[in-house]
Amino acid sequence: MKLTKRLVKKTLRGLGYELRKISAPGLPSNSLLSDPFLIQRQIINSLGKTDICIFDVGANKGQTARRYRSKFPTAEIYCFEPFPASIAELKRQFSNDQKIHIVPKAVAQEKGVSTFYVNEFDATNSLFPRPTSDRRYYPRFAGPKGTIEVEVIGLDEFSRVSHISVIDILKL
């Protein structure tokens, strides 16, 4: 069995995928252990918090913001995303949600402008260039496409200017 598992993992890795266990044996797939969003909701609820603030750094096209909205319907959600096509998609999706704020900037140590590395698979775009020596976390179809210059802001400065005293959930 171990040999078969190793062979399957190696084959998938060669195709740009990674196989890993997502739940503990014997637990139903909808258990808290298999859904980090449920775990976060349980923690926030145990603290007695109702009005929470979530920072979704690298919001891409809003996949995570949608999950957070479903678990925290009254939360203020700040989506940080510098890539123009993704910003347009975020605005389209969340134009009717007054508590989701699109921040068209990347997050860095401090305010300024930085090179943003654009890949064929936009979910892998980054302020960091894609490593050329290790493909483990990058599928083959996510090759480098180019660069653009983007605005960057530090979270401390953004929070100060936006009068945000507590970030309850920080997704990076």
At 144 the pLDDT is 85
Q: Please name the residue ranges forming H helices in 72-169.
A: 84-94, 155-161
pTM above 0.75, yes or no: yes
- 133-159, pLDDT tens digit by residue? 665 666 777 788 999 999 999 999 999
Residue ranges of the domains in the chain?
50-171
At residue 3 the predicted structure's pLDDT band, cuts being 50, 70 and 90, is low
Burial bucket for residue 65 (CB in 10 Å: 0-12, 13-18, 19+):
buried
DSSP state of 127: S
What's the CA angle centered on 41, arms 36 and 43, to 5 degrees?
A: 95
Phi then psi dihedrals of residue 96, to 5 deg = -95, 0
Give the count of beta carbons closer than 10 Å to the beta carbon of residue 27: 11
Q: Please name the residue ranges forming H helices in the chain.
A: 2-14, 36-46, 63-71, 84-94, 155-161
CB environment 133-162: b (16+ within 10 A), e (fewer): eeeeebbeebeeeeeeebebbebeebbeee
Structure tokens at 9: 């993992």
129 compared with 136, residue with greater pLDDT: 129
Structure tokens at 144: 């480098």
% pLDDT > 70, the chain? 80
- Strand-pair partners of 124: none
